[in-house]
Structure 1
């Protein structure tokens, strides 16, 4: 099967969105009306450019400094820089990628997948279309690369049920990036830098709040409908997009498990982390129906541990960027 490659934006439509001017304030991602009108200083108009034919810039909103889409939000980056917010939920995946061109225009790509999955009461090791796990070579690239990948874990807020197992499960999931389906090891090494007090730069409502240059994974008491969310920042130099920081937050609003002994209504921590790591390293989603065995599909059923390892397409997408050892 042909690899899926990113769509070009040469034919993308453009639009101009003026800053919001209303008697409302945006607080934690939601609009709250004031009791009386207040003076609003208009921000400069922002020229939005759709990155591909599937992106409808009319579905995004901006106040001149921030781009918002379906509950996700990112600050508009400086020229030559970009950011992606990618959220994995119980009903699908959602992402927005925003970059700024040298001429000041803001390029936006949106990606939304919804699905319906059953809530299981007992663990299952089955994998959808498992026979294709090591034969389906499809992948989708985000367009950036990590120069290296040293990551840190902040255990603050770890759910009590996972206090003794979360760290090892996250490490195992990250190490699963290194190989798949008997292939040679990935050329990019993943290094566990140990624990840190630095927090993942992911807000509770599904917003990317900054880039401290460290690759941190940790727990956030989110109020959005997302299991895990990754914010990835990059710079474009001589046409190459290089990641400068990528953080992942795991939402304690939901129940996770590491042992299949008791998983009722919970989600496999390893599977969630491996999917989010794929985003950090530069993988985007592939079609759920055509490539159901891939880790980078949107669907993740409760109690399923079938996606603790990469499929062939997931791995070949990484190899296309990082090569093998």
Structure 2
């Protein structure tokens, strides 16, 4: 057997920890370049920390103070128009007039929220502009006067009052809005809510002997049955995240203001509505179906549902004491069943939005 001589053993190179790969000397001449490198590095770090142009920190602007944190944001503290690059609000909660809140959609849609209260109403609109990548926030509240203020006009007859206000979005003309009903554990049938929806889309009125304005607005609705899922609102009556289903019905909004009767949320893509949810308050409220005498302090389910369907279709609250007899007035009192049928302004608003069938 041939014996191979052992391979010569190589000296292991010692690691040059803390040394330049090119200079490993220890004399003064070798230390000077190293000191220069350290000084240059410290100088660059100081420049970066100062945020001077051309540094990494200068490319990432700090969020403005009003954008800090992850909790709810008060609309009154925010600019009306917000650039997402400056403060990305998507997924955060914005609180508007009267405590009305909504979660800013993450999917690029806009959201409009409406409250109907015993003493007035509130609106919050969070509109996303995909062309400019900006969000516009508008909010407002309407308090119904107690009694008739001095010098104010008497409420106009709903059959001659042509005032109305519309939202920036609506369903496409000719749409059939398909919706499901949620009982909210109340055991109530869908009948009275469905009647309110029909009163709006089919323009039922007490202003004509035949009980209907003509021509009908070019929009309709279809009931698809019950839903185990509640409307996409929180216990504080805030708009949550949409799920692609239009759900109308009952919800225990225990954390909402005590005077809230109902809330409606509408999501839209540009000028086109894509989903709406409507919730009537079960917490601490008595409701009247319209049959028999009205229990003291109860509210008409059909009247409230007709009003909220106005929001579903793109109507906003009318302002001024003179319009208090219209369905879209910002207040509804106990046992008041009048708003369950449309006034002239309510009908004119739907025709302005959808034209005639």
Normalised TM-score (structure 1): 0.73
CA RMSD of aligned residues (A): 2.7
- Matched residue, 2:127: 99
- Matched residue, 2:66: 18
For the residues of structure 1 that align with 2:218 and 2:90, how far apart are their CA atoms?
41
CA gap of 1:64–1:153, structure 2 versus 1, over 3 A, is closer
CA gap of 1:220–1:64, structure 2 versus 1, over 3 A, is closer
- Matched residue, 1:251: 281
- Matched residue, 1:115: 144
Q: CA shift at 1:84, angstroms?
A: 0.8
Q: CA shift at 1:92, angstroms?
A: 0.9
- Matched residue, 1:264: 296
1:192 aligns with 2:240: no
How do 1:53-68 residues align onto structure 2 when only pairs under 5 Å count?
65-68=92-95
CA gap of 1:50–1:139, structure 2 versus 1, over 3 A, is farther
- Matched residue, 1:222: 253
- Matched residue, 1:321: 353
CA gap of 1:17–1:79, structure 2 versus 1, over 3 A, is farther
For the residues of structure 1 that align with 2:160 and 2:294, how far apart are their CA atoms?
32
Any conservation in 2 of the 1:78–1:100 contact (CA below 8 Å)?
A: no
How many residues were matched structurally? 262
Q: CA shift at 1:262, angstroms?
A: 3.6
For the residues of structure 2 that align with 1:247 and 1:77, how far apart are their CA atoms?
15
Any conservation in 1 of the 2:297–2:334 contact (CA below 8 Å)?
A: yes
> Which of residues 170, 173, 176 is equivalent to 2:196?
173
Q: CA shift at 1:30, angstroms?
A: 11
Any conservation in 1 of the 2:73–2:95 contact (CA below 8 Å)?
A: no
Q: CA shift at 1:78, angstroms?
A: 4.7
Q: CA shift at 1:219, angstroms?
A: 1.4
- Which SS does the other structure have where 1:48 is aligned? coil
- Matched residue, 1:286: 318
Structure showing greater relative contact order (alpha-carbon pairs closer than 8 Å, 6 or more residues apart): 1
Any conservation in 2 of the 1:219–1:252 contact (CA below 8 Å)?
A: yes
- Matched residue, 2:168: 143
- Which SS does the other structure have where 2:230 is aligned? coil
1:152 aligns with 2:151: no
- Which SS does the other structure have where 2:316 is aligned? coil
- Matched residue, 2:272: 242
Any conservation in 1 of the 2:73–2:93 contact (CA below 8 Å)?
A: no
For the residues of structure 2 that align with 1:20 and 1:64, how far apart are their CA atoms?
14
Any conservation in 1 of the 2:199–2:341 contact (CA below 8 Å)?
A: yes
- Matched residue, 2:79: 48
- Matched residue, 1:232: 266
Q: Structure 1 unaligned runs (5+)? A: 1-15, 32-45, 52-61, 119-127
Q: 1 or 2, which has the higher helix percentage? A: 2
CA deviations over 1:70-105 (Å, ceiling 9, x no partner): 322222235852101111111110110001223332
* Rg comparison, structure with higher value: 2
Any conservation in 2 of the 1:48–1:106 contact (CA below 8 Å)?
A: no
Normalised TM-score (structure 2): 0.67
Any conservation in 1 of the 2:230–2:247 contact (CA below 8 Å)?
A: yes
CA gap of 1:256–1:117, structure 2 versus 1, over 3 A, is farther
For the residues of structure 2 that align with 1:63 and 1:211, how far apart are their CA atoms?
13
For the residues of structure 2 that align with 1:311 and 1:167, how far apart are their CA atoms?
24
